[in-house]
Amino acid sequence: VSTGIGCDNIDIVMNELDALANIDFTTREEKETFRQLELVRIGTCGGLQPNTPVGTFICSEKSIGFDGLLNFYAGRNETCDLEFENAFLAHMGWKGNLCAPAPYVIDANQELINRIDHGDMVRGVTIAAGGFFGPQGRELRIPLADPNQNQKIENFTYKGYKITNFEMESSALAGLSKLMGHKAMTVCMVIANRLIKEANTGYKNTIDTLIETVLNRI
């Protein structure tokens, strides 16, 4: 399935996949037998640590959603890591309407993570940004609301976790899947790392390796 970019598109895809699996379209009611889906998103990302250079495969054990999507669904607090959220917000110093004032932290399905990562990938914490430019610390003509955003993100640590990468979908996929009772995870290949000033503009020729690896392990 090709979802398009962003958590808004994941919201559409997840609800429609769940409806196909678990709603009777004739009666418009839930089916008596629940069908659990397994979903692995394969994508690209930007690395945020020295140990995530270009070409690294990162499994998102945890995702931090800057998008706010899960905040619209019941069960959000019971599903998310609230202590991690509070520690992250305190570190970033975001209050009021500054940047992402209510990010959510969600775990991917551990069984899927263990199935896909055979010790040859980095398990990390991924930020699912609500955009490509400002939300990921890129500045063109409009100044950033928090000019130190990326530096603070790179320096954040919590119970041994560090934030490893930016992408734009993992939090919604993991969060909605958990609320719906499905299994999901995201694995991405790093195509740029601003911290160590690396980039791979020809990544489309190399991501096939990640796709083949994941398909062989599912």
- Residue 117's CATH number: 3.40.50.1580
Indicate whether 170 belongs to any domain.
Answer: yes
Q: How many domains does the chain have?
A: 1
pLDDT at residue number 202: 75
pLDDT at residue number 72: 96
The pLDDT of 9-16, averaged and rounded, is 97
Indicate whether 157 belongs to any domain.
Answer: yes
pLDDT at residue number 81: 98
- Whether 1 has a pLDDT exceeding 90, the answer reads no
Cα distance between residue 52 and residue 173, in whole Å: 22
Query: What three-state secondary structure class fits 60?
Result: strand
Give the list of residues 6+ apart from residue 108 with CB closer than 8 angstroms, or none.
Answer: 59, 60, 61, 62, 63, 170, 174, 184, 185, 186
Indicate whether 211 belongs to any domain.
Answer: no
Cα distance between residue 30 and residue 27, in whole Å: 8
- Whether 200 has a pLDDT exceeding 90, the answer reads no
pLDDT at residue number 97: 86
Closest CA to 60 of 213, 194, 211, 184: 184
- Whether 199 has a pLDDT exceeding 90, the answer reads no
Indicate whether 213 belongs to any domain.
Answer: no
Q: What is the mean pLDDT of the chain?
A: 94
- Whether 147 has a pLDDT exceeding 90, the answer reads yes
Q: Where are the beta strands (DSSP E) in the chain?
A: 23-24, 29-30, 38-47, 57-65, 104-107, 122-128, 157-158, 161-167, 183-193, 198-199
**This prediction's pTM:** 0.92
Indicate whether 119 belongs to any domain.
Answer: yes
pLDDT at residue number 5: 92
DSSP letter (8 states) at residue 96: T
Do 175 and 184 form a contact (C-beta atoms < 8 A)?
no
pLDDT at residue number 6: 86
- Whether 164 has a pLDDT exceeding 90, the answer reads yes
Indicate whether 73 belongs to any domain.
Answer: yes
Indicate whether 216 belongs to any domain.
Answer: no
Residue 85 structural domain: 38-136+147-196
Indicate whether 207 belongs to any domain.
Answer: no
- Whether 194 has a pLDDT exceeding 90, the answer reads no
> Whose structure tokens read 């939300």?
135
pLDDT at residue number 214: 95
The mean-pLDDT minimum among 22-36, 62-76, 173-187, 201-215 falls in: 201-215
